[in-house]
Amino acid sequence: AIEGTVPEMLPFQPPAPKRRHTPRHQTDGADHAEDEPEDEPSHPGSIIDLHRARHPLLDPKTVVPIDVYLDDETYLIVITGPNTGGKTVTLKTVGLLTLMAQAGLMLPVDINSKLTVFEGVFADIGDEQSIEQSLSTFSSHMTNIIAILEDADPHSLVLLDELGAGTDPDEGSALAMALLENLRDRGITTFATTHYSDLKLYAHSTPGVRNASVEFDVKTLSPTYELSIGLPGRSNALTIARRLGLNPVIVDKAESIVRPDTLEAESLLDDIKRAKQEARQAEERAKQRERQAQLVERDLRYQLAGIEEARRAVIADAREMMEQELEGLRGELREMRRRLGPTGTLAGGDTHSEFLARAEKELNRRQQATEQVNRDVVMPGAVEEQLDGPIEVGDRVWVPSLQASGEVLAANHDTGEVDVQLGNFRLKLPLKRLELRQKAVRESPSVTVTVQAPATQRSPGMELDLRGVRVEEGLAQVERYLDDAYMARLPWVRIIHGKGTGALRDAVRVSLREHPLVREFRAGGPGEGGDGVTVAKLVEQS
């Protein structure tokens, strides 16, 4: 049925991996083409690379996945190992998955598995004795193998189970080796299972042929069903007999009969297998650590992306606030010019030009602050050189995690934390995460007042900044500020409370609504800070 179906499916097959196609050989095994060296068998570059392959008909809860690898320089895989160890299941898994792939079916394998598209799949698996034809196990196998040799070519996959079994071991081993040599010379991809030690040596010493084995746990006397490519297996007959309780004298006698070089080779093979198992476990641990490192790296990338986004948002907000404050200052100057009128003097004797000079100085200071924020946005790394010494209130610091600079509002050296003003945000950060960039000028502390309007009493300035202040403290500051502003004869004031949750803003406006010194108030305009600012017009003194 398979031989009849495959030709019909060929027009619909998926593209095969790129491979070195060679002229087809005659089905009778004719000599190679004249331009091919006789000692180098032709091979189409077949690749079988199955990761954690599982037989689709076995219970997925108990089936042991296997890794099968055959590169384009290998023609034959010789699988050895104990009975019931999984050799035959391996052949069936390879053959069945190959046909499933060519039929377009999903395969029970892990990602990155690869399979060449073969033009024919031939198998001789199982003990097919024929009573009617009086064929023994050996004769039955040979009948199938003869047919396979006639039909197979370099684009075929051949699966041979217990090659050379059912006859004299010496003759069976010699015949099996000759059959494998014929398949290798013809460049036919072949998987074969056997118990013959001579075939292990053949696979080890012959180019294009590799050993493989199914593993067996001698402690539990049970197979592990795992496939090891590159290492021959052993039957473990003497070990199993000893562990099952056979008279030790008999086992010792059997070991003495076995050739010493065979026992030495078996012992060396055990050491190699243990070393390979340890290496495989170490590799798995390394892969696990690599996967964990990749997960950590991915999480860090996400976190850094979030921090970068937050940094840009903080700086952009600070820049916007600065620009709004500058625009507000310009509006205040326009209002003061209007109130000054043509007289050119204010109550208290200050001239128009003196007032404008002070206002211009404040505007320049704010303009410089805005330019500093702009530099933080455009060139986050272009900051002052790091300074030594303790970080104190008023100092300018650099926050590497946010790639932004800010001013220290409060410092608690006992807890190792400080409050830093970044734009419109007040953040509590550990001291160890900050870098000192500029010390505060203690002899002439910066003034938080925007514009001082001269009057008979010292002016508190035309704005009050409540950002970062709690509601109760903020209302107390508003009360004192309004009294001072009224006594200084200020016509109007700006109260900066920020947007935030709106609690401070609402409390301030409720207080202004009932305050006897407030004539009216409104939210800030587009150039004054928006809803984060309240502009209050004060009653005039009589």
Give mean pLDDT, residues 474-485: 89
Instruction: Give the bridge partners for 159, in sequence order.
Output: 123, 191
Dihedral (C-alpha) 167, 170, 175, 177: value to the nearest 10 degrees?
130
Whether 152 is in a domain gets the answer yes
Q: Are 53 and 214 in contact (CB under 8 A)?
A: no
Q: How many domains does the chain have?
A: 1
Q: Percent of the chain at pLDDT above 90? A: 15
Distance CA 166, CA 489 (A): 119
Distance CA 71, CA 77 (A): 11
Whether 366 is in a domain gets the answer no
Whether 140 is in a domain gets the answer yes
- Which of 213-217, 308-312, 467-471 has the lowest average pLDDT? 308-312
Distance CA 66, CA 35 (A): 39
Q: Which residue has better confidence, 277 or 381?
A: 277
Q: Are 155 and 120 in contact (CB under 8 A)?
A: yes
- Which of 18-32, 306-320, 410-424 has the lowest average pLDDT? 18-32
pLDDT tens string 407-436? 888 888 888 888 888 765 677 888 888 888
Whether 132 is in a domain gets the answer yes
- Which of 98-102, 122-126, 166-170, 524-528 has the lowest average pLDDT? 524-528
Distance CA 126, CA 159 (A): 11
Q: Is residue 35 classed exposed, middle or buried when 0-12, 13-18 and 19+ CB atoms within 10 A define those classes?
A: exposed
**Local structure of 169: helix, strand or coil:** helix
Range of the domain at 170: 2-20+43-236
Find the angle CA(125)-CA(154)-CA(57) to the nearest 5 degrees. Answer: 35
Phi, psi of 318 (to 5 degrees): -65, -40
Whether 294 is in a domain gets the answer no
Q: Give me the helices (H) in 438-524, please.
A: 471-487, 503-514
Looking at residue 156, its pLDDT comes to 93
> Which two structure tokens, joined as six digits, stand for 515?
């305050």
Q: Which residue has better confidence, 77 or 128?
A: 77
> Does an H or E element contain 1, and which?
none
pLDDT tens string 57-105? 888 888 889 899 888 788 899 998 877 778 889 999 999 999 999 998 9
Distance CA 296, CA 264 (A): 48
Distance CA 46, CA 33 (A): 20
Using the 8-state DSSP alphabet, how is residue 40 labeled? S
> Is the per-residue pLDDT at 28 higher than 50?
no
Distance CA 126, CA 140 (A): 10
Q: Are 39 and 167 in contact (CB under 8 A)?
A: no
Q: Which of 523, 519, 513, 457 is nearest to 485 (CA)?
A: 457
Whether 124 is in a domain gets the answer yes
Confidence of residue 14 (pLDDT cuts 50, 70, 90): very low
Give mean pLDDT, residues 484-500: 85
Confidence of residue 36 (pLDDT cuts 50, 70, 90): very low
Whether 318 is in a domain gets the answer no
Looking at residue 174, its pLDDT comes to 92
Whether 100 is in a domain gets the answer yes
Q: Percent of the chain at pLDDT above 70? A: 72
- Output the domain CATH number for residue 169: 3.40.50.300
Q: Which residue has better confidence, 524 or 361?
A: 524
Looking at residue 254, its pLDDT comes to 86
> Which two structure tokens, joined as six digits, stand for 299?
């999480």
Using the 8-state DSSP alphabet, how is residue 130 labeled? B
Q: Which residue has better confidence, 442 or 110?
A: 110
Beta strands (DSSP E) in 187-299 are 189-194, 209-217, 222-229
Give mean pLDDT, residues 120-140: 71
Q: How much is the CA Rg of the chain, to the nearest whole Å?
A: 44
Distance CA 129, CA 449 (A): 106
Q: Which of 135, 133, 131, 104 is nearest to 117 (CA)?
A: 104
> Between 248-257 and 237-244, two packed helices, what is the crossing angle to 10 degrees?
170
